[in-house]
Structure 1
Amino acid sequence: MKHTDIRNAVRLIRDRIIRTPLIFSPTLSRLFGAEIFLKLENLQKTGSFKVRGATYKLMKHRKAIGPLGVVAASAGNHAQGVALAARNAGVPATIVMPEWASISKQEATRSYGGDVILHGRSVGESLERAKDLAKTDRMFIHPFDDADIVTGQGTIGLEILSEMPDTDMILVPVGGGGLISGISAAVKPVRPDIRIIGVQASACPSAFESLRHGGVTHVDARRSLADGISVKQPGELTFRLIRKYAETVVLAEEEQIAAAILMLLERKKILAEGAGAVPLAALLNNSVRPDPDSKVVLVISGGNVDSPVLGRVIRKGLLKKGRIMRVRLYLEDSPGALSKLLTQIAQLRANVLHIVHDRDVKDLPISITYVDLELETRGPAHVDEIRAALKKEGYNIGLESYP
């Protein structure tokens, strides 16, 4: 793979993809003592960088693709990227997805023109099925371990350099390694001093362990918010490029990934999936410490997160940060008691999110009722203020949940 190949890829795909924005974040810059920029691939077509590599692959080999088109396997972003790229190139696309793939991602892939086949209990089994289908005159498009795919992803690196040639560090999510390989191959030949650091979920540290062992290593994976980078083994090609160009690969825990998703959403109004949020998670857990005043780019690789997952992340994050308080109070079962309590809560500037008022509870005295409250607060200090005020008023506080 040559640097000129990536420059050619820019010209070939530029009318078919979005040149995504590179934005400065004053909030994150103050927090980490460096100039933090976000490369927003979550705003890319299909909501992920994957369409870049797929588009380049199809455009480069368009004349060699037979009437049955192309085939790929993926649980999400690669599936959508290939489906859209194939539709734009005017060829059929067969996408094999594991049986557990989310309905929303299945439907998104179909909406881009992909013919979805559900097969396998893992992406690996889906890949084997896709490779079998490739024997029937379909072009197989690997999600990462392919020189053309890597070349297409590398266009991100050239976009970063064209807008900010004095970049000091780029933090890149790592799964199979196609994204970091492409960005590194685009950037390092012209700016060898730029630090390229990969970030993986600790639930599936395949590239991390491969670097540690000095060769491609297969790992077991736990369930992760960063499912888009839960790849149990990097590619042979991508591992060589990671070892050649990347400074290191660091890890992020699930709580840190969740905190990063919430921070991007609250502070920057940016919706990032777990895989896209891991660069920020690496800053939050101090596994990466930028030099003061250096220019750091976080590649927000995608924004395809299922709504139920996002809801759980937000609620768990608010609980952990003390922005939600749960408390059980025991009251005299008399007229006005509940109204008085709620008035006092309002005076404490807390917002009632949920309330359960029940007097029919076994073992409670007939004159006592309980109230479960879920309150929105400003944070831990506000929670302490509410708790102290309620106790001062003589309320009997039972089960409490904070954080």
Structure 2
Amino acid sequence: MATEQSGEDAGIQLRDRIAALGAEAFHDASVRISQHAVVTPLLDTPAIDGRRIRLKCENLQATGSFKIRCAANVIEQLSPETLRRGVVTASAGNFAPALAIAGAPHGMRLICHIPEKSAAVKVAKLRALGVELVFHDFEAWWRIMQTRDTGMPEATFLHPVCEPNGIVGNGTIAIELADEWPEIDTVIVPFGGGGLVSGIATAMRAVRAGVKVYACEIEGAAPLAAAFAAGHPVTVDRQPNFASGPGRQSVLEIMWPLLREMLAGVITVTDAEARKAFRDLTLDSHLVVEAQSAIAYAAARSADHSGRNVAAVLSGGNIDRDALVAALAD
């Protein structure tokens, strides 16, 4: 049954639960998800101002996104009865297909509440996987993200951002980064809802405490930067940009205590910087990515990180063909 999970108390409980985890929890998750998620490559890019930048290519997962890590770590710890009863989620397109793939061997029914302007490639993938879709305008969809209320009490709601086991699954990226690059000192992660960056930051603290983990956003759509500036989540009006359309968004209240404690900061990039990073990734590194991934690469190229060993997490590569062509033609 879906239950409301919001407020400062819930956020503190989530922070304390995740922050208390040691390296073993993330290593165990790596083993648990290994039948679904691959160890993605860490690729070099041209050095800039003496720094070294490498790309953690989660866009090369079979699902095209890091979300298979969190989805698999959640699904593999649910009971057969729960899976048979059905699962419901709210997803902009990457979490739901990962759930469907991880749950398929268990005969799981999946219902996804999705923004009506989601990328066509993601909608097509969900339909091909047999996911039942319920479309909403962004405001209605965001209310589900905040309240978990879908009007479907018979199914178990799985949140794409703040499921504890999902956050731990995301942290397996940090285990790989620490193994692949002993000299790493900085990790930059796109911010969507906070599950990815908080998982990586928590795991990195457990295995390599000196590494700084930053979230990144694009100017005009930066609710996390606004929250850090204000000291608490605030609602921002998202301006149309390379990464997203208009709307209102804030940091989920339940995620704020964990993000505030674990992150070294937030980096914002301009629309032009994100577009250039996208083109460079496509044309120079031969990597097809989503806009969020380009934001991470743009942030890694910031002068603030001169002289550092920086990993940019390319969170996904599920982009519409038309959007890809338009971005390259810009």
Normalising to structure 2: TM-score of the pair? 0.86
Once residues 211 and 319 of structure 2 are traced to their aligned partners in structure 1, the CA distance between those partners, rounded to angstroms, is: 30
Q: 1:66 to 1:74 in 2, by over 3 A?
A: closer
Once residues 80 and 236 of structure 1 are traced to their aligned partners in structure 2, the CA distance between those partners, rounded to angstroms, is: 26
* 2:313 corresponds to 1:299: yes
Once residues 96 and 157 of structure 1 are traced to their aligned partners in structure 2, the CA distance between those partners, rounded to angstroms, is: 30
Greater relative contact order: 1 or 2 (C-alpha under 8 angstroms, separation 6 or more)?
2
In structure 1, the residue matched to 2:150 is 132
In structure 1, the residue matched to 2:73 is 56
Contact kept, 8 Å, 1:146 with 1:237, in 2: the verdict is: no
- Aligned mate of 2:222, from 190, 200, 205: 205
C-alpha displacement at 1:226, in angstroms? 2.1
* 2:99 corresponds to 1:85: no
* 2:193 corresponds to 1:176: yes
In structure 2, the residue matched to 1:279 is 296
Once residues 239 and 250 of structure 1 are traced to their aligned partners in structure 2, the CA distance between those partners, rounded to angstroms, is: 17
C-alpha displacement at 1:85, in angstroms? 2.1
Once residues 23 and 231 of structure 1 are traced to their aligned partners in structure 2, the CA distance between those partners, rounded to angstroms, is: 35
1:97-176 matches, within 5 Å, as: 97-122=114-139, 123-125=141-143, 127=145, 131-136=149-154, 138-176=155-193
C-alpha displacement at 1:81, in angstroms? 1.9
Contact kept, 8 Å, 2:162 with 2:195, in 1: the verdict is: yes
* 2:31 corresponds to 1:17: no
- Aligned mate of 2:276, from 237, 259, 276: 259
Contact kept, 8 Å, 1:96 with 1:129, in 2: the verdict is: no
Once residues 282 and 231 of structure 1 are traced to their aligned partners in structure 2, the CA distance between those partners, rounded to angstroms, is: 23
Contact kept, 8 Å, 2:188 with 2:300, in 1: the verdict is: no
Once residues 204 and 134 of structure 1 are traced to their aligned partners in structure 2, the CA distance between those partners, rounded to angstroms, is: 31
C-alpha displacement at 1:166, in angstroms? 2.3
Contact kept, 8 Å, 2:300 with 2:312, in 1: the verdict is: no
Secondary structure of the residue aligned to 1:166 is coil
Contact kept, 8 Å, 1:32 with 1:290, in 2: the verdict is: no
In structure 2, the residue matched to 1:315 is 329
Contact kept, 8 Å, 2:300 with 2:311, in 1: the verdict is: no
Contact kept, 8 Å, 1:72 with 1:82, in 2: the verdict is: no
Q: Which runs of 5+ in 2 are unaligned?
A: 1-17
Q: 1:128 to 1:247 in 2, by over 3 A?
A: closer
Q: 1:250 to 1:94 in 2, by over 3 A?
A: same
C-alpha displacement at 1:39, in angstroms? 0.3
CA RMSD of aligned residues (A): 2.2
Once residues 260 and 84 of structure 2 are traced to their aligned partners in structure 1, the CA distance between those partners, rounded to angstroms, is: 39
In structure 1, the residue matched to 2:305 is 290
Q: Which runs of 5+ in 1 are unaligned?
A: 317-403
Secondary structure of the residue aligned to 2:73 is helix
| Residues 109-164 of structure 1, C-alpha deviations (whole Å, 9 max, x = no match) | 1223312222334431564897324412x111111122111111111111111111
Once residues 190 and 248 of structure 2 are traced to their aligned partners in structure 1, the CA distance between those partners, rounded to angstroms, is: 12
Once residues 127 and 211 of structure 1 are traced to their aligned partners in structure 2, the CA distance between those partners, rounded to angstroms, is: 21
Amino acid at match of 1:247: A
C-alpha displacement at 1:216, in angstroms? 2.2
Once residues 73 and 114 of structure 1 are traced to their aligned partners in structure 2, the CA distance between those partners, rounded to angstroms, is: 12
Secondary structure of the residue aligned to 2:74 is helix
Amino acid at match of 2:326: R
| Residues 368-401 of structure 1, C-alpha deviations (whole Å, 9 max, x = no match) | xxxxxxxxxxxxxxxxxxxxxxxxxxxxxxxxxx
Once residues 227 and 88 of structure 1 are traced to their aligned partners in structure 2, the CA distance between those partners, rounded to angstroms, is: 34
C-alpha displacement at 1:235, in angstroms? 2.8
- Counting matched residue pairs gives 308
Normalising to structure 1: TM-score of the pair? 0.71
Amino acid at match of 2:41: P
Secondary structure of the residue aligned to 1:241 is helix
| Residues 76-128 of structure 1, C-alpha deviations (whole Å, 9 max, x = no match) | 21222222222244311111112222332211112233122223344315648
Amino acid at match of 2:51: A
Contact kept, 8 Å, 1:170 with 1:195, in 2: the verdict is: yes
Q: 1:89 to 1:254 in 2, by over 3 A?
A: farther
Once residues 207 and 248 of structure 2 are traced to their aligned partners in structure 1, the CA distance between those partners, rounded to angstroms, is: 30
Q: Which has the larger radius of gyration?
A: 1
Secondary structure of the residue aligned to 2:289 is coil
Q: 1:167 to 1:88 in 2, by over 3 A?
A: farther
| Residues 45-74 of structure 1, C-alpha deviations (whole Å, 9 max, x = no match) | 221111111111111113351533111112
Q: 1:76 to 1:231 in 2, by over 3 A?
A: farther
